[in-house]
Chains A and B, each alone.
Chain A
Amino acid sequence: MYATHYHRASSVQDALSLKSAAEDSRYLSGGMTLIATMKQRLAAPTDLVDLRHVEAMKGVTVAGRTVRIGAGTTHYDVASSAALAGVCPAICALASHIGDPHVRHMGTIGGSIANNDPAADYPSALLALDAVIVTDRREIGAADFFTGLFETALVEDEIVTAVTFEAPEKAGYAKFPNPASRYAMTGVFVTKGAGGVRVAVTGAGSDGVFRHAGLEQALSARWSPDAVAGVAVDPSNLMADLHASADYRANLVKVMTKRAVAAA
């Protein structure tokens, strides 16, 4: 790791001013990707502005079926929120399988979605839940937020402060982990609610998280694990790497969808 300066922000405003005052700064919100990247000398920010201690950005609140998760909330806190489990246990289950216990106690939902790793779990949940990403200056729908591999709609210095969504009638998540990294080699989050059926896929798309229209149509017609059997998943826009070809991922998209519906 190259030398860097660490700043602990006390508020969103403090974070914004610390960030803009520094030469080549990055926000830190758990650092589960950024610190590892810095240790490999693949990133070398002069300054780090830590968001994890901003009180206003922490915690889960549930009002009726409206959920608000502060961006600085750890995966462990999401996984273990009884209020959240009461309305949307699928997202608790998802959080409980991110990384290992160390990662779950350090990594945060805001850090994860701002990084938008194409194999991260949360982007599929937020897309399927039609969540709103709240920042220091605006609200962005999940469909507009995730724009590509490690790319989001966030502009320079913009801070994700929370995510909100209406808990759907049903939700389920199924992940097939990469045998080495245990990131999602394909993960599918399904929801059924007032807005219909949504199927969001992570770990598989060559442009990152995406919704699958064919699967959504099939499940809208009949909400059952068997309903996906006849759906064709086109491998041409899927990732291929050492561990999984596009064809294999296309198969996993269907299988994980089926299992997510069964779990919902």
Chain B
Amino acid sequence: MNAQIPLSSYTMTADGRKIGAVLMEMKNITLRFGGVKAITDISFDIREGEIRSIIGPNGAGKSSMLNVISGFYVPQEGEVWFRGARRPQMKPYEVARQGIARTFQNIALFDGMSVLDNIMTGRLTLMKTGLLAQSFWWGSAEREETAHREKVEKIIDFLEIQAIRKTPVGRLPYGLKKRVELARALAAEPKLLLLDEPMAGMNVEEKEDMCRFILDVNDEFGTTIALIEHDMGVVMDLSDRVVVMDYGKKIGDGTPDEVRNNQAVIDAYLGVSHE
């Protein structure tokens, strides 16, 4: 799915995956809501093929960061660089069309539509036929629909949700909804996949399933993933590199091991005594 990366520019991970050049770079991002600073001067990058996590206590600004990347929030200061070019201010749908797909912390699916239709919406940006051809269902529109449908069926198989293909999403249990949302994001064949607390509110079994899917997506499709998660254990297992935020500031950045031994991070998570 990703462009071929020249041999020299990638590094291999311990489990044999390739991590390539910088895909996205956030430079000195500052985001304010009125007088409240949600994010203060944060910079970090995301490399092709890696799983990059953003962690931090509640209210640290993680979700705000994800919303900046996906265009839902516009930072007052700083630059967003994507695939080697500075990204001008964009609407969320324009960001999506650039190849950045996301899921939401509180699940944003189309409840009235079937699982299949929901996932098909993920491919809207990839469909080329125009309004007229679609209206009259000319040959090209039909061929296109069939081709996209095949891709979607593959994703449905991949995420093991064949049994609920025709079910309206509103009737599904929470864990499955999360999986359908992941499927819809995957259907867009994103260059960067953003996951906002993919494991929130799940039981242990569902969490294990989701972890496996995230790893499989990254492994099989080579999709670059940036995720936010509370569960430290999960993050440390999944991630190649981790950004740690606290009170809107970056307090740590590195491999899980580096972050785990960072004093500022330990303080933020365990608290420091003020004596």
Q: Do A and B bind each other?
A: no
Interface residues of B (CB under 8 A from A): none
